[in-house]
């Protein structure tokens, strides 16, 4: 019998417990926190630091990956509901989903149940499709994506331009959001070719009605360059490292803004 996902993670990292931390998406330069991306961490009992999923995700089966996703989306939406009730925050919460989970027959009903139980608007949940595995070309994938989009859930393409991410998927998924990785968003003042690529993607997003988000922003000069190109929403250590829910509640309750200057 296959181990449950947390037993499997413990095999590779040591016994411990799961948790979520959140990294902000910020509207620049105003500093408004418009989104929080939920990031899974495993705190092993024998280690002071938290393990990133990269330490064990490649070893999980498809069914174990689905178990992990369902736990993350359940926890993230429930915690976002608490954060909203505490602070009045009106942003969205993002959750990563592996590409090969998109055809899971339990995907749509599970998300519908968790949104209903937490009274969380579908329009404030973003599923960030990671493409470490190729998106299967199955009718079930198309049905699930359409059902989620019709309910209001946002589909985002994570790390566009890396792995399997391509313009084919841009056409197939019709995402509401594209997230550009650090390889595109850093050093724009020194790399004219990269700057023009980002400029073209921002213009394409505007024509298609797709929001472009810059990830991996760590320096103020990169944020300024991205803003000059026309990119407004950014994420990265310039604006804050991933934090637990309690930290964001305290920050937002004091009218917190992350200007990154």
The per-residue pLDDT for range 40-95, each reduced to its tens digit, is 998 887 766 677 887 788 888 888 889 999 999 999 999 999 999 999 999 999 99
Cα–Cα distance, 179 to 157 (Å, whole number)? 6
Q: In terms of Cα–Cα distance, which of 247, 259, 260, 255 is closest to 36?
A: 247
Domain locations along the chain = 5-253
- For 83, the token pair is 């954060």
- For 35, the token pair is 């989104």
**The domain over range 5-253 is classified in CATH as 3.40.50.180:** no
Residue 105 is predicted with a pLDDT of 93
Q: What band does 9 get if pLDDT is binned at 50, 70 and 90?
A: confident
Residue of 155 and 169 predicted with greater confidence: 155
* Per-residue model confidence as pLDDT tens digits over 198-208: 999 999 999 99
Predicted confidence (pLDDT) at residue 191 exceeds the cutoff of 80? yes
Q: What band does 189 get if pLDDT is binned at 50, 70 and 90?
A: confident
143 and 92 Cβ atoms separated by less than 8 Å: no
- Model-level pTM? 0.93
Q: What percent of the chain has pLDDT over 70?
A: 95
Positive/negative CA dihedral, 191, 188, 215, 237 = positive
**Mean per-residue pLDDT over the chain, rounded:** 90
């Amino acid at each position: 019998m296959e181990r449950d996902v947390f037993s499997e993670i413990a095999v590779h990292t040591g016994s411990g417990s799961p948790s979520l931390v959140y990294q902000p998406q910020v509207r620049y330069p105003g500093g408004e926190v418009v989104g929080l991306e939920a990031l899974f961490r495993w705190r092993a009992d024998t280690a002071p630091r938290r393990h990133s999923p990269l330490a064990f995700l490649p070893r999980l089966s498809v069914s174990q990956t689905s178990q992990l996703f369902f736990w993350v989306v359940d926890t993230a939406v429930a915690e976002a509901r608490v954060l909203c009730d505490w602070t009045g925050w009106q942003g969205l919460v993002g959750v990563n989903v592996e590409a090969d989970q998109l055809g899971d027959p339990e995907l749509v009903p599970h998300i519908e149940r968790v949104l209903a139980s937490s009274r969380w608007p579908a329009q404030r949940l973003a599923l960030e499709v990671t493409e470490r595995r190729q998106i299967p070309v199955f009718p079930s994938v198309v049905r699930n994506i359409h059902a989620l989009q019709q309910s209001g859930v946002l589909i985002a393409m994570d790390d566009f331009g890396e792995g399997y991410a391509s313009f084919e998927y841009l056409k197939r998924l019709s995402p509401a959001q594209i997230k550009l990785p650090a390889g595109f968003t850093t050093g724009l003042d020194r790399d004219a070719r990269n700057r023009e690529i980002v400029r073209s993607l921002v213009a394409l997003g505007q024509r298609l009605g797709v929001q472009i988000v810059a990830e991996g922003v760590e320096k103020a000069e990169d944020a300024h360059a991205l803003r000059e190109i026309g990119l407004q929403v950014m994420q990265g250590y310039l604006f804050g490292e991933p934090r637990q829910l309690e930290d964001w509640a305290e920050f937002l309750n004091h009218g917190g803004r992350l200007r990154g200057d």
